[in-house]
Structures are given as C-alpha cells and as structure tokens.
Amino acid sequence: MIKNIGIIGVGGVGGYFGGRLVTGLSHNPAIKIYFIARGAHLEAIQNHGLILSTAKRGEMICEPELATDQIEKLPILDICMVCVKSYDLKNTMVRLKSVIHANTLVIPLLNGVDIYERIRSVLNEGIVFPGCVYVGTHIEQPGKVVQQGGACKILFGKDPEHPNLVPREIFRLLDQSGIQYQWLDDPYPEIWKKFLFIAAFGMVGACYDRTLGQIMQDESFTRDVQSIMYEIVNVAQQKGVCLRDAEVKEALQKAEQFPPDAKCSFHRDFEQADKPDERDLFGNTIIRMAETLNVHVSVTCRISDRLGSLKQESGLKKEKQEARNKNQGRQWGN
C-alpha cells in the first residue's frame, strides 16, 4: 500500500510533477505527499502552497503534507521522485538512506546517462527505475512554477537489479494524476537519445555563449554539435546501447523547432559564475566512458577543457570584483 510519496527537489521538474500528484491525489487522504525544497522558494511554499501554472490546466495551488529542507524529517517513503541537480545527487542520496525501505520505488528525473549508477553507488536498498523526462518548466518566482512547453512526460523502465518488477502502483497513481508516462523494458536508448541533444547543444551553447538559433545559423558551431553527437553515439554503441547514427540528424532537426533564443538548462546554469554546474554530468561522463571503451572523443574533450577554463576565468573575475567592492567600502568608511 502506498502511503508516503516524497518529491526530492521541488524546482521546475519536481514542482510540476509534485504539484500534479498533490492535486490529482487530493481525493485520497491516505496518501501523503512531501516536498523537499530550500530557500525563499521553500518559505513561499510553506506559507501559501506551491503555485503551479500549466499551459493546459491554468493555475492551481498545491499544498503538500509537509514542505521542508530536511529529508530527515520525512516519514519512511514508499515512492520517491528525485529531481535534484546532479551535483547535489550524492549528498541527497546519503541523506535519503534514512527514509527508504527495501521496497521504496525511486524514480530519478535527472538528466544524464549514468544516474542509475550514481544512485546505486550510495543506495543499496530500494528499487530504482532508470528514466528521463520531457517537460518545459521553470521557477518564475519563489513559490511558483510555470510550465510552458515540453511533452510533460516521464519515460522509465526496469531496475536492472529487479528485472521482473513492474510498478503498477506507480502507473495507477500517475493515471489518477493525469501525468503522461511510458514504461519501457529497456529505457536506456531513450535516456541516451535525450542526452545526445542536451549534452551537445548545452556544451557548445555554454562554451561560445550562443542560443540554439545562433548555433544552427553558424556552420562551425553546428559542426561541433554534430561531432559531439557522433562521439556520444559511438560511446553508447560500444556500451551496448541501441542508439542509431540517424539520431544525430533527428536531433539537429529537433533543434530547428525550438525558438531561436532558446538555451539548454546547462547553458543557463553555466552563466552563473557563483553557482555549481553540471559539466561533470555531460562532458566528463562521456570522456570517462570513452577512455574505458577506447573511443575517440576529441571534440568533447576540446569543448570540455574550454568550459573549465571559462568557468575558472569567470570565478576569478567575480573574486576580483568582490575585492574591489570591499576596498571601496573601506575607503568610504574612512
């Protein structure tokens, strides 16, 4: 019996799916839904509930059983949606160990092709379903998540450690909440297919500070994107993942359907010098896998190295500016 559901990381993705679960299951008081968030966003949710604005359903107020930044305050969870950034994943999993049991159903809704392995390096218990998600959301202001695009769909599949388990309890709850999903015997081709797009466009976009439209209009940038995609396909194929070369052409065609000023989430995060980003999830993961499999990934290496240099430079600039501001403050104080 499902009693407790935890949404770990109520940002854009967690806010959308967590909010849909809260409203969709409100008729069932036996099911309690818990939000993990932080900062001003958490405070707004605690005071007024989460405001979820969707393209089709309009605006709704979503009030969980509890919103907190302390995982340890949660009861033992029966279902857990993990929606944090990859750089927070390990620490989150360490904290999550205290509130799961052997049959807790864990659905990671993160980007990345090795998320299952990262989770399993920490979690020995629980059933973890590899997956990915397509949804266009963002936090518009503290306490409010807006969905404006994307298929709003979860794709997930069997836990390699529990290959005979099909989570019909999750299907039932998603159906009741109106959440679209697809269950796959092998979810990895879809996971890599999404990664192919976001890794290549995200890395090149951040490296040269170009939107999707600007990348597609410049032959040199498009060539870098295409080269990274083919390198990712080669790595996937060497790992035994059924990813076709034709996926590269389809990914490039997909980019043309986006607004020309669109940016991948990695690019937007990378622009903030004082915040962590997911370079390790994209470039570094491919480089590590390629070294193990003896696959040539020279363009990924070149772009990844440049991203590291740019991040270091922006950090130094920020430190110098803070030092100048501090000195100016002292002068005014004199």
Please state, as a whole number, how many other Cβ atoms lie within 10 Å of the Cβ of residue 213. Answer: 16
Q: Are residues 68 and 208 in the same domain?
A: no
CA dist 87 → 61, 96, 310 (Å): 30, 15, 19
How many domains does the structure of the chain reveal?
2
CB of 192 closer than 8 Å to CB of 232? yes
* Domain limit, last residue, from 160, 185, 210: 185
User: pLDDT (tens digit, 0 to 9) for every residue of the chain, 334 residues total?
Assistant: 899 999 999 999 999 999 999 999 999 999 999 999 999 999 999 999 999 999 999 999 999 999 999 999 999 999 999 999 999 999 999 999 999 999 999 999 999 999 999 999 999 999 999 999 999 999 999 999 999 888 999 999 999 999 999 999 999 999 999 999 999 999 999 999 999 999 999 999 999 999 999 999 999 999 999 999 999 999 999 999 999 999 999 999 999 998 899 999 999 999 988 889 999 999 999 999 999 999 999 999 999 999 999 998 876 566 555 555 555 554 454 4
- 328 located within any domain: no
- 330 located within any domain: no
- 322 located within any domain: no
- 325 located within any domain: no
Q: Are residues 70 and 57 in the same domain?
A: yes
Q: Is 45 exposed, middle or buried, given 0-12, 13-18 or 19+ CB atoms closer than 10 A?
A: buried
Q: Are residues 237 and 294 in the same domain?
A: yes
CA distance 73 to 64: 14
What CATH number did the domain enclosing 312 receive?
Answer: 1.10.1040.10
SS3 at position 134:
strand
Q: Are residues 181 and 273 in the same domain?
A: no
Which residue has tokens 């993705």? 13
- 253 located within any domain: yes
* pTM score above 0.85: yes
